[in-house]
Structure 1
């Protein structure tokens, strides 16, 4: 009995059969959806404002609570997908928008928009963040092509160094032109300002999800390396460009609307890949659902840990994500010690 690892097909007596873990609609996945639905209900009714005891409680529910919960779900899916696609393209599980400098480039794009437009609209801020995210991600990939040593630790270190440089440049420009206060909310990602009229552009993420699902098989082949992808008839450079563009749009929208959300794209894709492998098409629904659940749990904690005040959700995400990042680093080093 032989197994085909890439396609997820097990051959027995010449009869192909899909692995169970490549199926999408399984009992665990349905349980995960139910859990996310429960978390969304908890999120809708979590907050300091008494919805039942106020005359405008119903209005406030639809003005603030519903948009916030929708923003949480869309943002969780976006950042998790971005991390999954980046990990496939770079063939490295420690890569995501935070560890490649992409999110820092988005912040620089926001700052550049504020320099040229004193009171930019949300569309202008999104455009600047998307363009600079794309440029920064492509620069990161160009650096990787120049680096001969491509170990699992070197790649995120390069991204972190690039991000640190861009962050320093953004801080210097902000101080020089006295514009740090304009983007200070970006450095602390929070869903507190979300309400009707300030989150609707996040619905574009649904389109990004559909496009990633359409290109899923080609992105998976690109994750096998340039030589393998080319031999299988895939234009490697084109699919990497498309993947980078989709990542940039998702990260740019989130950066402009919400702010910096560290390590979300690192935690969720790694958990899913450890359990299910690296098939993007079958993993994408799982990544979206678990991304939604993760960020909603962090947001509920941020709203209740020091009630009636609120902790930025990026603080909770950063703490959890840093711990997961350390665990992944230790897992990468363990095989070397065993040798």
Structure 2
């Protein structure tokens, strides 16, 4: 293993610890208030008139409350996955979408359907988690064996790997006549969320707690293998733990919701621009902004062409692509000025 970090990124991608260690500040409280307001708007947004129908309150607790809770948990999960990935690889452009992890999760779902015609949600989650973990480990092993001089190459490699896995999934779907499963999965949407179909998302709370406990070790691992080892951190073990947590978060979201692109890219980069790369102090911010981002996109998806609904992945992908291009341009400017 070379002494430089596994991705060979530029100095502006190195972790920068700052003094923003306080969590309960006025801006953070304001951010929580914004999330609460968006949650209230989400509860009362929809075609069905919950106030004018006799079963309005029943439908409110069957569909609206579960959907809003699922939005909050999913936003936190994907944002945290992106944050941990970016920290451990020291690359701003890494997240489940740009590393092929989400495509591996889709392949896992397809394999489960091949062996079990009508799998339960637990089986689908298990397949998605297992294949997400395998795909993430393959990506990390590739980065450790290949010396890369530019941070821009890393997401390109991840997107290429994801495209290959997506092609395999498409071929298997066509061969076994299961294209409908693939199409429904690639269209990430909260329309089908209701009581009995979202409860496993609460596992994300446990993942958040574990990430917070191991935050300091994950931050040290982000400094590279040599530095982390000299500071007494078992680098391989902490990377394995990080990949496991990422796989669980992505697998659960993939099985319950579907594909949600670029959320793990947008939020961590926004937070890092203002607060540096201290995982412990940034985690609450990442969760809150992730919740607000996906909730806002879902509200837009429900209102933009009412009474119909646009998949939230379409809105999220559009916003994420714009942010991704903006970050790329910001990274290229300093080079031209040198």
Q: Helix, strand or coil for the counterpart of 1:99?
A: coil
CA distance in 1, matches of 2:122, 2:275: 37
Corresponding position of 1:277: 276
Cα displacement string for residues 168-193 of structure 1 (whole angstroms, at most 9, x for unaligned residues): 00000000000111232111000000
Corresponding position of 1:140: 139
Corresponding position of 1:33: 32
Cα displacement string for residues 124-143 of structure 1 (whole angstroms, at most 9, x for unaligned residues): 00000000000000000111
Corresponding position of 2:112: 113
Corresponding position of 2:263: 264
Contact 2:82 / 2:95 at 8 angstroms: preserved in 1?
yes
CA distance in 1, matches of 2:181, 2:157: 29
Cα displacement string for residues 66-110 of structure 1 (whole angstroms, at most 9, x for unaligned residues): 000000000000000000000001100100000000000000000
CA distance in 2, matches of 1:75, 1:190: 11
Contact 1:80 / 1:268 at 8 angstroms: preserved in 2?
yes
Q: Helix, strand or coil for the counterpart of 2:196?
A: coil
CA distance in 1, matches of 2:153, 2:53: 55
Q: Which aligned pairs between 1:89-108 and structure 2 lie closer than 5 A?
A: 89-108=88-107
Corresponding position of 1:193: 192
Corresponding position of 2:4: none
Q: Which aligned pairs between 1:195-274 and structure 2 lie closer than 5 A?
A: 195-274=194-273
Range with bigger deviation, 182-191 or 34-43: 182-191
TM-fit CA distance, 1:145: 1.3
Contact 1:262 / 1:318 at 8 angstroms: preserved in 2?
yes
TM-fit CA distance, 1:7: 5.8
When the two structures are superposed, what TM-score results if normalisation uses the length of structure 2? 0.95
CA distance in 2, matches of 1:162, 1:207: 30
Corresponding position of 1:160: 159
The answer to whether 1:314 aligns with 2:313 is yes
Corresponding position of 2:10: none
Corresponding position of 2:73: 74
Cα displacement string for residues 242-274 of structure 1 (whole angstroms, at most 9, x for unaligned residues): 000000000000000000000000000000001
Aligned in 2, Cα 1:144/1:7: closer, same or farther, shift over 3 Å?
Answer: closer
Contact 2:17 / 2:277 at 8 angstroms: preserved in 1?
no
Corresponding position of 1:12: none
When the two structures are superposed, what TM-score results if normalisation uses the length of structure 1? 0.94
Aligned in 2, Cα 1:47/1:240: closer, same or farther, shift over 3 Å?
Answer: same
CA distance in 2, matches of 1:188, 1:42: 23
TM-fit CA distance, 1:22: 1.9
CA distance in 1, matches of 2:275, 2:149: 25
Contact 1:152 / 1:332 at 8 angstroms: preserved in 2?
no
CA distance in 2, matches of 1:127, 1:308: 35
After superposition, the CA RMSD in angstroms is: 0.9
Corresponding position of 1:129: 128
CA distance in 2, matches of 1:273, 1:22: 13
Contact 2:78 / 2:250 at 8 angstroms: preserved in 1?
yes
Contact 1:130 / 1:248 at 8 angstroms: preserved in 2?
yes
* Structure 1: stretches of 5+ with no match in the other structure: 9-18
